[in-house]
Structure 1
Amino acid sequence: MRVATSADRPAIVALHLASWQSTYGIELSDAVLRDVLPGYLSDKWAARSFGSDQITLLAFDGDRLAGFVCALTDRPIPLIDNLHVAPPLRGGGLGARLLKGVNAALAERGFRRSDLTVLSRNTRAYAFYLAQGGEDEGEEEDMLVGTPVRVRRIGFDLT
């Protein structure tokens, strides 16, 4: 694993897009996944500074980006904003290593908790986060690419 730099943006966007297109059809239409999402994710990552207000870790399979995790640290409880593994590599433990890595980096910066949201209908990801020690803190409303969705907030104790 290594820390991301701005040079990694294209690879991050490509993996993020592949991950959402393979999973988020439970909430987003095919048209949004195909026509809107590429620009949305490109804009999202173009706005990221890869500075001290976030921690983005990358994992590789050879020379290819296999997964990444990003935590936003500009708040009292950091938000794990993204954790994505290339669809063909899911289930092999990479997601767990990325989550542990980012939570360890957050703890090193003095944070005591982190949290994230997961789509309520994404039962596989929900089960994964609970298996990694996350605590379900309840369901709430959110927006995903302009679409109202229900999410579950998952918290992690970093002490």
Structure 2
Amino acid sequence: MIRPATSADRTAIRDLHLASWRDSYGAELSADYLRDTLPAAMDEKWSARTFGAPELTLVAYTDTEMTGFACALTDRDPPLIDNLHVRPELRGGGTGGKLLAAMKVALREAGFVRAYLTVLESNPRALAFYLAQGGVDEGPVDDIMVGHVVKARRIGFDLCS
């Protein structure tokens, strides 16, 4: 089941986001940062979220647990899909594709015709996923990750097709 997030989802989103970063970003972030600093950073990030405009956050659940979430920032045109994370042990099972499809529909219904995200060049699995989901590689960009410049790719999505 995919639905809009509420404040009741805050802790589950934070925990899933933390697990996903720890699993995916070891090439970009130190083990000390992932272990010691990231939990407080995730607490700060998700405690500030309102789960309303200008954010659009969707969560995926089974009967018993959150399996993934996606968040788009709609205060710009095109909107930025800022997060799409699936529980590490469930990747490859279809949750990410369903979340991305639901996010594209929600953004289209909000009046947008395009959206984009950035994906780290050090994460080829994620890049391949987004391209397989209809994303178009719009080229390299410098992105910021915890205060450091990282190499990324901008992936665009046409929401009308």
Alignment TM class, shorter chain as reference? over 0.9
Aligned-partner SS, 2:29: coil
The 1-side partners of 2:77 and 2:88 are apart by 32
> Are the aligned partners of 1:28 and 1:147 in contact in 2 as well (CA < 8 Å)?
no
Aligned counterparts of 2:41 and 2:147: Cα–Cα separation in 1: 10
Using structure 1 for the length normalisation, give the TM-score.
0.97
**Residues of 2 paired with 1:52 and 1:110: CA distance?**
14
Which residue does the alignment assign to 2:139?
138
C-alpha distance in 2 between matches for 1:95 and 1:125: 10
Q: What is the alpha-carbon distance in structure 2 between the residues aligned to residue 27 and residue 83 of structure 1? A: 18
Q: Give the ranges of 4+ consecutive aligned residues of structure 1 lying more than 3 Å apart after TM superposition.
A: none
Task: Give the equivalent residue in structure 2 for 1:42.
Answer: 43
Q: Is the 8 A contact 1:37 1:145 kept in 2?
A: no
Identity of aligned residues (%): 59
Question: Equivalents in 2 of 1:62, 1:147: separation in Å?
Answer: 38
1:62 Cα offset (Å): 2.1
Please state if 1:62 is matched with 2:100: no
Equivalent residue number for residue 108 of structure 1:
109
Per-residue CA shift, 1:88-115, capped at 9, x if unaligned? 1000111000000000000011100000
Name the SS of the counterpart of 1:26 in structure 2.
coil
Question: 5+ unaligned residues in a row in structure 2: which ranges?
Answer: none
Instruction: State the one-letter code of the partner of 1:70.
Output: C
Corresponding residue number in structure 2 for 1:88: 89
Structure 1 portions without partners, runs of 5+: none
Structure 1: distance between partners of 2:128 and 2:27: 16
Match for residue 124 of structure 1? Answer: 125
Give distance in 1, aligned partners of 2:53 and 2:125: 31
Give the equivalent residue in structure 1 for 2:76. Answer: 75
Taking the aligned partners of 2:152 and 2:47, their CA distance within structure 1 comes to 25
Q: How many angstroms apart in 2 are the aligned matches of 1:71 and 1:63? A: 25
RMSD, aligned α-carbons: 0.8
1:61 & 1:33 partners in 2: Cα distance?
Answer: 27
1:32 counterpart = 2:47 = no
Rounded to whole Å, the distance in 2 between the matches of 1:109 and 1:147 is 33
Secondary structure of 2:151's aligned partner = strand
Q: How many residues align?
A: 159
Equivalent residue for 1:4? 5
Task: Tell me the distance in 2 between the aligned counterparts of 1:62 and 1:20.
Answer: 24
- Using structure 2 for the length normalisation, give the TM-score: 0.96
